[in-house]
Structure 1
Amino acid sequence: MLRMLFIMFYLMLVAAFSGSLLASEAKTIEWTDLIPDSEQQLMANLPEVQHDTNQSIFDRDYTGDDPAAMQWQEILKSAKVRTELNNSKVRIPGFIVPLEFDDKQNITHFFLVPYFGACIHVPPPPPNQIIYVSGARNLKADMIYSPFWISGTLITETMSHDLGQSAYSIKADSVEEYSY
């Protein structure tokens, strides 16, 4: 009996240690790391907003011949990804937008977004700034007001939902409350 308890304790210790090892092997990334260089260049080269007019770049007619407005519209809808990140172990902070729940009302699938309220308020972030996350466990619905660290394998695939579209997904190895 004592031997059986020792074996169970050892297996639990190994499982806990390997889980923390998985999180430590993951490369910590920022949201801007998900944006391809070409799009970052577009963003850097957008003209400055002219404050002496009543019309900002956000209010312009996107169907016209305004190149800056068309560039901005392209960035806001972009699903372009960094293919070199495909199948990489990452760790990224963000906020949770619940999509699916289990029978105990724990969140199982969600969008991870860079700021609170994204996807719920219009417009959502571009698809390359939304990550579809599956495999969460014991994540209560009332926890969505806090940021979380998500660790897992990042995949470059599109996922659509009524609340938005993501250009990346992660099968979560771990979901931890955010700490500095």
Structure 2
Amino acid sequence: MKVLVMKRLLPLITLLLCVNALPCQSSDIKEIQWDNLIPKLPAQDNPLAGLSEEEVDFIEYIIYLREFLPKEVTPENQEYYDEVNNALPELQKKDIDVDKIIADRRNRNSAVNTELDNQEIKLAGYLLPLDLSGNAVTDFLLVPYVGACIHTPPPPQNQIVYAVSATPTPYEVDELFKPVSVTGRLQVKSSSKELYLSDGSSDINIGYSLSVDRIEAYRP
């Protein structure tokens, strides 16, 4: 009787042993770098090719003023507006269209990698609270370098992630731009968030959102 039972159980035992011997499946979490958030785009001709370094520096300066000067002309910024208005006609004579360069850069900087949509990812970066009034955060910006979005032009929106904790437990932050590693579900989702600074506020355009399951301290 025992022999008969063992014969009948032998296939099942063999199957269980085989299953237990299988290697563990790899995690579905994809560890990515900031470059992975930038989609592969067709090569584009450089409109400043062939110019001297001094000419390029001047044009980049005019582009910066054109893009980031306040819309309202004031006595404080009148000098910069005059620089731009004097430079644009001269640049147009050289077939350099500053506004087109700005528009092309914005289009490329807003492009996102749709292949990462709804993927479970892990990404290291620097945590920037949207509200700087407290030490505990449940939502924040994740940026690729220290100083991003504060007193400088923000990174391209495909280099900014709006992160929201999937749990109500806040994450304690004892410094600005705290290096962290975050894990969660990434979504391709454009948005704009208001970042409150000590000297005012600023609207930040964002290309991704992340539902955060885990936040860990990170050492760059």
Would you say 1:146 and 2:178 are equivalent positions? Answer: yes
The alignment partner of 1:58 has SS state of: helix
Distance in 1, Cα, partners of 2:51 & 2:28? 42
Relative distance call for 1:70 and 1:33 in structure 2 (3 A) is: farther
Among 61, 78, 85, the alignment partner of 1:59 is 61
Distance 2:45 2:219 in 1: 29
Deviations 1:53-86 (A, max 9, x none): 2541522446755369844663356221111110
CA contact (8 A) 2:130 2:194 kept: no
Root-mean-square deviation (CA, aligned residues, Å) is 3.2
What is the SS of the residue equivalent to 2:138?
strand
Normalising by structure 1, what TM-score? Answer: 0.69
Q: Which runs of 5+ in 2 are unaligned?
A: 1-26, 67-87, 196-203
Corresponding pairs, count? 154
| Correspondent of 1:79 among 100, 104, 110 | 110
Secondary structure, aligned partner of 2:153: coil
Structure label with greater radius of gyration: 2
Listed as ranges, the matches of 1:64-143 within 5 Å are 65-66=95-96, 70-71=100-101, 74-75=104-105, 78-100=109-131, 105-135=135-165, 137-143=169-175
Distance 1:28 1:72, change over 3 A: farther
Counterparts of 2:48 and 2:30, CA distance in 1: 30
* Alpha-carbon distance in 2 for matches of 1:90, 1:54: 42
Q: Percent identity?
A: 32
CA separation in 1, counterparts of 2:50 and 2:213? Answer: 42
Q: 1 CA distance for matches of 2:141 and 2:159?
A: 10
Partner letter of residue 183 of structure 2? S
Alpha-carbon separation, structure 2, partners of 1:157 and 1:44: 29
Shift of 1:146: 2.7
After TM superposition, what 4+ stretches of structure 1 lie above 3 angstroms from structure 2?
A: 41-50, 60-65, 67-77
Match runs of 1:22-37 below 5 Å: 25-37=28-40
Please list every run of 5 or more consecutive structure 1 residues that lacks an aligned counterpart in the other structure.
1-23
Cα offset, 1:49, TM superposition: 7.5
CA contact (8 A) 1:101 1:108 kept: no
Which residue of structure 1 lines up, in the alignment, with residue 205 of structure 2? 165
Match of 1:16 in 2: none
Is the Cα–Cα contact under 8 Å of residues 159 and 165 in structure 1 kept in the other structure?
yes
- Amino acid of the structure 2 residue aligned with 1:158: S
TM-score (normalised: structure 2): 0.58
One-letter code of the match for 1:161?
K
Q: Is the 8 A contact 2:128 2:178 kept in 1?
A: no
TM-aligned CA distance change 1:130 to 1:144, over 3 Å:
same
Secondary structure at 1:179 match in 2: coil
State the alpha-carbon separation in 2 of the partners of residues 93 and 86 from structure 1: 18
Q: Residue type of the partner of 2:35?
A: T
* Structure 2 CA distance for partners of 1:112 and 1:67, relative to 1, 3 Å: same
